[in-house]
A and B are shown apart, each in its own frame.
Chain A
Amino acid sequence: MTSDLKLPLNARSRASIPRWRVSALLLATVLLLPATHAWSDGAPNAVQHLAVGVCATCHGARGISNLSKIPVLAGQSEAYLTAQLHAFKTQTRGDADAIGYMWGMAADLTDEQILNLSHYYATAAAPAETHASSRQTVMAQISVGHDIYTQGIVERGVPACSACHGQEAHGLGDFPRLAGQHAAYITKQLLAFQNTTRDVAVMHAVTTTLQHAEMTAVATYLQSLP
């Protein structure tokens, strides 16, 4: 060994501070943080825990997703939500994302959980702000969409959507709320009704002659509604 090397002080004597103790203290602090935090709203109930801990990762906090392919659930019709969760669980709703994501997610839900989740999202505040853009092309789509939604396309036998979904598109009973829903999600569903991957006879009949641009127009209009 060389003995005449000029090493700095910290090189000659190994760290005198037991660093692992500092680390352990910090670790303990992090570990204890959740246990010592004063939870201001008391113990969360089971459905809230499920909604916030699992569903929210895709559907957003309180059911307002920010991913356009994933539906907004906040303010949705309770009966509709219950029916859909049962359809996922029994694997009778067959559009692509239903198969890939929701068949699994709903597989183990109990009837009670389905009812509670449906109530949780039905009573959550629907999106307050609309996604409407002031761009001219979007405004034109909204105008066309409004006409189709409220009047249908008579010459092709497309009925007015508002007849079932309501003038304000807030839905009722088994008919889902569409106002404030992501346009991309609505368009995707309309296509799924049309090609029967989502097999709903009424909606298949409605969408049979609908063109893609018309679907997009209706969807853009609905997304703009509060």
Chain B
Amino acid sequence: MTATRLLPTLHAPRLIARAMSIFTALVGLLHTGVAGAVPSFARQTRMACASCHTVFPELTHFGRMFKAGGYVIDNLKQVKDVSLERKENLSLSDLPPLSLMIQVSDTQLAKPLPDTAKAAGSAQNGTVAFPQQVSIFYAGKIAPHVGAFLQLTYANDSGTIGIDNVDLRYADMRVLPNDQSLVYGVSLNNNPTVQDLWNSTPAFGFPFVSSNSALGLPYATQIDGSRGQDVAGISAYVFWKESVYAELGVYRSAKQGTAGPLDSTSAGGVLATAAPYWRVAYETNQGPHSLMLGTYGMSFQLYPDLAGCPSCNPPTTTGYGNLLGGPSDRFRDVAFDLQYQFLSEPHTASVMATHIHEAQTLNASVLAGAAQRLDNTLTTSRVTATYYYKRQMGGSLNAFSTTGTQDDLYIATTTHAPDTRGVTAELSYLPWLNTKFSLQYTAYTKYAGLKQNYDGLGRNASDNNSLYVVAWLAY
């Protein structure tokens, strides 16, 4: 969330301190909170998981339509009321759409991380997270046409319960001539792309679960999870013939942990204006084949916070950000994505890909001496192929790559380069459709710009390779 902003401001003079700082920030960045498989939907619709998911949390076409329709298909008995004119004014499920999710994991790194106090020492390898995450969901209908996906999460890294992904929706449908459908709606949410229907976009993209004690991408684009739970947005969408999807929205900063008006001290910076978000996708379904081609993006201006910048001119201990209203950093994210699904029995397979390009114009950072270059770029690509047999046993293979401009001030790593790439392989077994046991291995071929000695302390990219075992129970 805010870790991507913290990194550029961490300009500790000594390499050891820098490495420790990066580690701390990275661990924070890895709290992704991706989780979209909610048994309360199954209870509400009285339909099996397989209606909406290939294997949770990946959505089928029906699952996408359920989401676009506002999570309101309800086959339970209702508590009802009507006005004197017999107009219905209450329709409440007799079962609240609540669910619980637990993730328990163990992470083994190829080489232990340095001790956070003394680099000569090593952290313990083999990190048990019990639990890594526990979430409570209210996921389902609130009223006719109004539904919610609301997640509260306890995570072991924060040690607290906090708001996680939220997507509140109003949706309706019109029947057009020739029995064509036009679904339309509004989403109020706190994470750009959490409202999206496809699993090729960041919020519900692969990996659906990942270790929070292994190192992830040192830098991510803004739309790639960096603003989750840091903003609030409203977007309107239309979905014509279950095929052509268009969405337009705006986001504003909406931080947790503070109720007062945002100012220059707000951690993670403050969006200067309402930030537009857009999404266009075309989906076609033929027999067992489903193909989606799409594009999405976001553009915004950010007032950097006053989080501290020792390398700024002049150095500051409280940060380099200006008062709100001063210069801002601009980020323009444009992404393309693709999803192909083959749904048959007993085989299901899918391919998901996205390519995100971010153009940064760092007016505020350059002015403060916290960035060397005015115009930087950051580009992330991911491709994932997944196969399951009987929706019970299967796995995914994922390749990822992030490249970007080297900036001696803005990027805090030793190399000052964000370039990172590698692969993730995952094997999963689901004895029941709502219980998943996964073995995940991530291998890096480049990390923060280099294959070897990327931190100046002798640590290689492959030292960050991780083996991750996780049990994911949703009920």
**Are B287 and A104 in contact, CB atoms less than 8 angstroms apart?**
no
A5-B367, A54-B73, A104-B75 as given contacts; A68 in contact with B173, CB under 8 Å: no
- Determine if A116 is an interface residue (Cβ-Cβ < 8 Å): no
Q: List 7 A-B contacts (CB under 8 A).
A: A1-B314, A2-B369, A11-B374, A23-B248, A56-B181, A99-B48, A107-B46
Report the count of interface residues on A (CB-CB < 8 A). 50
Q: Is A100's CB under 8 angstroms from B75's CB?
A: no
Given the known A-B contacts A52-B181, A66-B286, A68-B288, are A57 and B236 also in contact in the complex, defined by CB atoms under 8 Å? no
Are B182 and A34 touching (Cβ within 8 A)?
yes
The 7 residue pairs across chains A and B that have the minimum distance between CB atoms = A104-B46, A20-B274, A100-B48, A44-B175, A104-B47, A11-B363, A107-B75
Instruction: List chain A residues, Cβ under 8 A from B75.
Output: 104-105, 107-108
**New A-B pairs, 14, CB < 8 Å, besides A22-B276, A30-B184, A107-B46:** A7-B363, A11-B363, A11-B366, A15-B301, A30-B236, A40-B177, A41-B177, A52-B179, A52-B181, A56-B181, A61-B178, A68-B287, A100-B51, A104-B48
Is A62 in the interface zone, CB < 8 Å from B? yes
Judge if A140 is at the interface, Cβ distance under 8 Å.
no
In the complex, are the beta carbons of B47 and A34 less than 8 A apart? no
Mark out the residues of chain A between 16 and 70 whose CB falls within 8 Å of any chain B CB in the assembled complex. 18-20, 22-24, 26-27, 30-31, 33-34, 37, 39-41, 44, 48-49, 51-54, 56-58, 61-62, 66-69
Q: B449 within 8 Å of A by Cβ?
A: no
Known contacts being A7-B366, A53-B69, is A69 close to B174, with CB within 8 Å? no
B367→A14 contact, CB < 8 A: no
Q: Are A30 and B285 in contact (CB under 8 A)?
A: no
Could you tell me which residues of chain B, from 406 to 427, have a CB within 8 Å of some CB in chain A?
Answer: none
Name B169-227 residues within 8 Å CB distance of A: 172-184, 186
B250 & A61 in contact (Cβ 8 Å cutoff): no
Chain B 41-69: CB-based contact to A (< 8 A → 1; otherwise 0): 00001111011000000000110010001
Counting CB contacts under 8 A, is B76 at the interface? yes
Q: Is B327 within 8 A of A49, CB to CB? A: no
**B238 partner, pick from A10, A33, A66, beta carbons under 8 A:** A33
Establish whether residues B250 and A24, one from each chain, have CB atoms under 8 Å apart when the complex forms: yes
Among B174, B186, B369, the residue within 8 A (CB) of A39 is B174
Identity of the chain B residue whose Cβ is nearest the Cβ of A54 in the assembled complex: B73
A103 contacts the other chain (CB 8 A): yes
Within the assembled complex, what's the spacing in Å between the Cα atoms of A18 and B61? 38
- Looking at the complex, which one of A39, A57, A99, A101 makes contact with B242 (CB distance below 8 Å)? A57
A-binding residues in B (CB < 8 A): 45-48, 50-51, 61-62, 65, 69, 73-77, 172-184, 186, 234-238, 241-242, 246, 248-250, 272-274, 276, 285-288, 301, 313-314, 327-328, 343-345, 361, 363, 366-369, 374
Distance of B192 from chain A, by nearest CB (Å): 14
Residues of A within 8 A of B272 (CB): 14
Seen from chain A, the residues whose Cβ lies within 8 Å of a Cβ on chain B are 1-2, 5, 7-8, 10-12, 14-15, 18-20, 22-24, 26-27, 30-31, 33-34, 37, 39-41, 44, 48-49, 51-54, 56-58, 61-62, 66-69, 99-101, 103-105, 107-108
* Chain B residue contacts of A52, Cβ below 8 A: 173, 175, 179-181
Chain A residues near B344: list those with CB within 8 A.
Answer: 69
Contact at A53–B363, with CB atoms within 8 Å? no
Contact flag A48-B345 (CB < 8 Å), given A19-B276, A56-B181? no
Q: Which residues of A contact B45 (CB under 8 A)?
A: 104-105
**Nearest CB of chain A from residue B67's CB, rounded to whole Å:** 12
- A12 partner residues in chain B, CB cutoff 8 A: 327, 363
Q: Is the CB of A108 within 8 A of B250?
A: no
Q: Are B184 and A34 in contact (CB under 8 A)?
A: yes
Neighbouring A residues of B234 by C-beta, 8 Å = 27
Asked whether, in the complex, the Cβ of B287 is within 8 Å of the Cβ of A100, the reply is no
